[in-house]
Structure 1
Amino acid sequence: MDTITRMRCFIKVAEHKGFSAAARDIGRSKALVSKYIGELEDELGVRLLNRTTRQVSLTETGEAYYKEAVEILQRIDDLQASVQSVHGDVRGRLRISAPRSMGDQMLNQAMMEFLKEHPEVVLDLRLEDRFVDLVEEGFDLAIRVTDLEDSSLIARRIAPFRTVVVATAEVIEKYGLPRVPQDLAERPCIIDTNYRFKQNWSFGQNGQRATVAVKGPVEVNSAAAAREAALLDLGFLRTPLFFVAEDVRAGRLEVVLEDYEPPERGIHAVYPHRRHLSGKVRALVDFLVGWFAAAKKPEADAR
């Protein structure tokens, strides 16, 4: 049994804080994983883990060893991935998570074009409006359209992301054009509950951020349903521009409060910090960056 294999087992036990979960993750028995850790500790001549009947925790020495081991194995994995990406074909299963609204609107097309270029890739695309745990749920990559707060993830921006408030001309005429964000508090609003802050819409101007509590006749966890409500004159809608860009260009919806839009964010491809970027994942990310740039999506001028 080589040291690198023992190190990988140790890292899994440390991350899962237990032998059973680590064993399931790497597909080995709990007894075998425990044996590997014991051999590693014997080899080093130190105790790396505190073991109780309920939990496993790192010793002070174990914490220091864990940090160094992660870096060493990351460099090894990166080297292997680099060689494979240069000399190997883009093939195998890709498990991707993305928001349903983005998939239905544009990502599906990009993904299918990628598959056409790489026929030996098997795509498992999960469209759902929740943040998946990439490691626990076994995803290679996630597409996210929000601020990134998880420092355990590495992100690459693949396209800009603009949030707008829109309404039909009929709604604007009936309720009046909102001049400042606070005006929305007195107007009917359509609330997409997929968003973290739901009824609290954020705006910005001159570097300052303001939040407005809104209410209205519709609360729904579907961007498509929220768009339909807006098109049927039920109120003002806050939504990603890419989802209503065609409606804006066609004049079915109008953008309001442009001067108060929050700072432009980005659509990101994210993957776990400690997982090397395989050739197939790297190929997909590079493709998406090029695809969005060539298509000038999703932030084509819709004014």
Structure 2
Amino acid sequence: MDTVTRMQAFIGVVEAGGFSAAARRMAKSKALVSKYVKDLEDELGVRLLNRTTRQLSLTEVGQAYYREATEILQRIEDLADSVRDTHREPRGLLRVSAPRSFGDAELGEAIMEFLVAQPEIMVDLRLDDRFVDLVEEGFDVAIRITELADSSLIARRLADFRNVLTAAPAVLAQHGTPKTPQDLAGLPCIVDTNYRGRHNWAFRVDGERAIVTVSPRVEVNSPEVARSAALAGLGFARLPWFTAREEIASGRLVPLLEAYETNAAGIYAVYPHRRHLSGKVRVFVDFLVEWFGRCRDVRGVKA
């Protein structure tokens, strides 16, 4: 019997909260699991668990050993997965979270192209404008448009992301064309509450980040509804480029203050912190990087 088997039994007992529960999970007898743990303690020459008739607890050295043993076994599992992935086609269910408006548009197109290229992978795409908890809700990867700051996740930047300040020609005729971000103060604005700043719009003035607090005529939690409000002449709206580009091309909306945009946000693929990235996630993220590189207009960049 090897040390790894003993470590697995020990970790199983700790995580199950007892020998009987661990034995059921491992499909082994309670006596055998107990023997594995005792043999591990004998091998180490220390007591890892305090045992009573009603309670099981880790000793101080047991707590330290549990942390290290869990890490070691995860590395062994990651190594095995990595080797397997190099010898088989990516397959299985890929659960993806993305913003609704982005998923309805460009991302949906990219995913359909990905599925054609990867026939062994199935995708469960959930569109929601909130930030989901990837681990708690069981997602493999999330696509986010943000200034990423969550260090508990691994992120790969897929592309730059462009916002554009717009207004209908009738609004400009009534209120004038703003020349600087400060000119927006006091003007009717359409606020998309999905933006973290909400009423506080960030621009870049003389190389520095500048915040302008705007007065909302309309507040919505959808870029599509914000675009509709802008088209209805209800005020100035800050929209994702991919939402407004057709209306800008047709002249129904006018881009404004483009030289002042920060363009600090990006389009990211984020996934839980793991040493080994599963084959299906890896090929999906690699595909998106390549796809966004081809489809430059998604970002508002002229090819």
**TM-score of the pair, normalised by structure 2:** 0.79
What's the secondary structure of 2:227's corresponding residue?
Answer: helix
Aligned length: 281
Question: 1:123, CA displacement in angstroms?
Answer: 0.9
CA distance in 2, matches of 1:172, 1:287: 42
CA distance in 2, matches of 1:57, 1:185: 61
CA distance in 1, matches of 2:85, 2:297: 28
CA distance in 1, matches of 2:170, 2:161: 27
Q: Does the alignment pair 1:149 with 2:152? A: no
Query: For 2:8, which of 5, 10, 15 is the aligned residue?
Result: 5
Structure 2 match to 1:96: 96
Q: Please list the CA deviations of residues 128-164 of structure 1 after superposition, one character each: whole Å capped at 9, or x if unmatched.
A: 0111111111110011110111111111111111122
Q: Which blocks of at least 5 consecutive residues in structure 2 are unaligned?
A: 51-56
RMSD (CA atoms): 3.5
What's the secondary structure of 1:227's corresponding residue?
Answer: helix
Structure 1, 166-175 or 122-131: larger mean CA deviation: 166-175
CA distance in 2, matches of 1:60, 1:260: 58
Q: Please list the CA deviations of residues 87-111 of structure 1 after superposition, one character each: whole Å capped at 9, or x if unmatched.
A: 1112110000011111112111111
User: Counterparts of 1:151-166 in structure 2 under 5 Å?
Assistant: 151-166=151-166
Question: 1:65, CA displacement in angstroms?
Answer: 6.4
Question: 1:204, CA displacement in angstroms?
Answer: 1.7
Structure 1 match to 2:80: 80
Note if contact 1:189-1:215 (Cα within 8 Å) is conserved in structure 2: yes
Structure 1 match to 2:53: none
Structure 2 match to 1:273: 273
Q: Does the alignment pair 1:132 with 2:132? A: yes
Structure 1 match to 2:180: 180
User: Counterparts of 1:24-43 in structure 2 under 5 Å?
Assistant: 39=37, 42=41
CA distance in 2, matches of 1:116, 1:7: 45
Note if contact 1:74-1:276 (Cα within 8 Å) is conserved in structure 2: no
Residue 294 to residue 184, structure 1, CA distance change in 2 (3 Å): same
What's the secondary structure of 2:183's corresponding residue?
Answer: helix
Residue 250 to residue 82, structure 1, CA distance change in 2 (3 Å): farther
Percent of paired sites with the same residue: 51
Letter paired with 2:242: F
CA distance in 2, matches of 1:249, 1:59: 67
Question: 1:247, CA displacement in angstroms?
Answer: 2.0
Greater C-alpha radius of gyration? 2
Structure 2 match to 1:195: 195
Question: 1:294, CA displacement in angstroms?
Answer: 1.3
CA distance in 1, matches of 2:216, 2:137: 36
What's the secondary structure of 1:136's corresponding residue?
Answer: helix
Note if contact 1:248-1:255 (Cα within 8 Å) is conserved in structure 2: yes
CA distance in 2, matches of 1:103, 1:3: 47
Note if contact 2:6-2:37 (Cα within 8 Å) is conserved in structure 1: no
Q: Which blocks of at least 5 consecutive residues in structure 1 are unaligned?
A: 50-55
Note if contact 1:7-1:69 (Cα within 8 Å) is conserved in structure 2: no
Residue 180 to residue 287, structure 1, CA distance change in 2 (3 Å): same
Residue 236 to residue 70, structure 1, CA distance change in 2 (3 Å): farther
Q: Please list the CA deviations of residues 24-73 of structure 1 after superposition, one character each: whole Å capped at 9, or x if unmatched.
A: xxx959xx9xx89x949947636699xxxxxx99969846963x556545
Question: 1:220, CA displacement in angstroms?
Answer: 0.9
